Structure 1
């Protein structure tokens, strides 16, 4: 089983988790975002870069029902989701990302929620940045972003970015399968 991961965070130099989106290959979604009115949320907003504050990250908050969470809940809910996916598959879950900090923030969040010892045995991190950055992957991602506008989601929303990572992967894999069978 493979799931695609993206996160949004405060700053490139000192990243602190703001939101996390995961989507399975078959389309099941998991999304959590920090409650920005909590003490942690207020502090993270203060530490956020201008890009995060004014360029399309925080203005996409509250677009997904029941996503607002405490910092602990973000890790707990994500860890439980990954464990359930692994249990269902009776195998480790490949967690695909295109930026290593995304997986580091997922691991830290799950660790802070007390589930990392279980989850680390159930996941396998996989960097697929080269696939998603390919021309085929880029085209598929752009098409996915166009479709996501109907849901009110755009670039730099963690769930939207996870969905486009999935679309890029599927397009590159389909191309490889077609080339291999030709």
Structure 2
């Protein structure tokens, strides 16, 4: 986690880019989640109590091998909820930016609701796909929630936030 060198006043627009990894599209259970702000503050957490048996073949091949890179960021479902709520508490509100609707559903489920002062924006159509691919070529990590959230933020740099 990087400490913030910027502070935001009340009502100033804050974008938080969210990405998740999950077991399967049908039996959808959160595996990991990342939130990255425009000013580089980050949250990352992996669940230790998701059902491995519910993971589809793609998740077993592409997602699970990437887990464990941040051993101090593992949680039970309830521990993850508490850590997320505490991290989000540093902000007065803003917009969760997602590229896939399931990320929103899993975030809301992890938080047990939408925090006051927060909205959602589906940003996939505004994201610069060339910058997104450049990020992955340069830094790798596709299908790891933290790297994907960082890549989405990178793809949205220079984009004017909607108020």
TM-score range, shorter chain: 0.7 to 0.9
Which of 41, 52, 58 aligns to 2:59? It is: 52
Equivalent residue, structure 1, for 2:4: none
Equivalent residue, structure 1, for 2:10: none
Do the aligned partners of 1:8 and 1:18 also contact (CA within 8 Å) in 2?
yes
Do the aligned partners of 1:75 and 1:106 also contact (CA within 8 Å) in 2?
no
Do the aligned partners of 1:82 and 1:93 also contact (CA within 8 Å) in 2?
no
RMSD of equivalent CA atoms: 1.5
Q: How far apart, CA to CA, are the structure 1 residues paired with 2:60 and 2:111?
A: 25
Equivalent residue, structure 2, for 1:100: 101
Structure 1 or 2, whichever has the larger Rg, is: 1
Displacement after TM superposition at 1:52 (Å): 0.4
Displacement after TM superposition at 1:103 (Å): 1.0
Q: Which aligned runs of 4 or more in structure 1 are off by greater than 2 angstroms? A: 146-149
Name structure 1 gaps, 5 residues minimum: 87-91, 175-182
TM-score, structure 2 as length reference: 0.84
Count residues in correspondence. 147
Displacement after TM superposition at 1:28 (Å): 1.0
Q: How far apart, CA to CA, are the structure 2 residues paired with 1:122 and 1:32?
A: 23
- Quickly say closer, same or farther: Cα 1:11–1:58, change in 2 above 3 A: same
Q: How far apart, CA to CA, are the structure 2 residues paired with 1:61 and 1:8?
A: 10
TM-score, structure 1 as length reference: 0.76
Q: SS of the residue aligned with 2:125?
A: helix
Find out whether 1:140 has 2:131 as its counterpart. yes
Bigger proportion of residues as helix: 1
Do the aligned partners of 1:83 and 1:122 also contact (CA within 8 Å) in 2?
no
Equivalent residue, structure 2, for 1:161: 148
Q: How far apart, CA to CA, are the structure 1 residues paired with 2:23 and 2:116?
A: 28
Equivalent residue, structure 2, for 1:33: 46
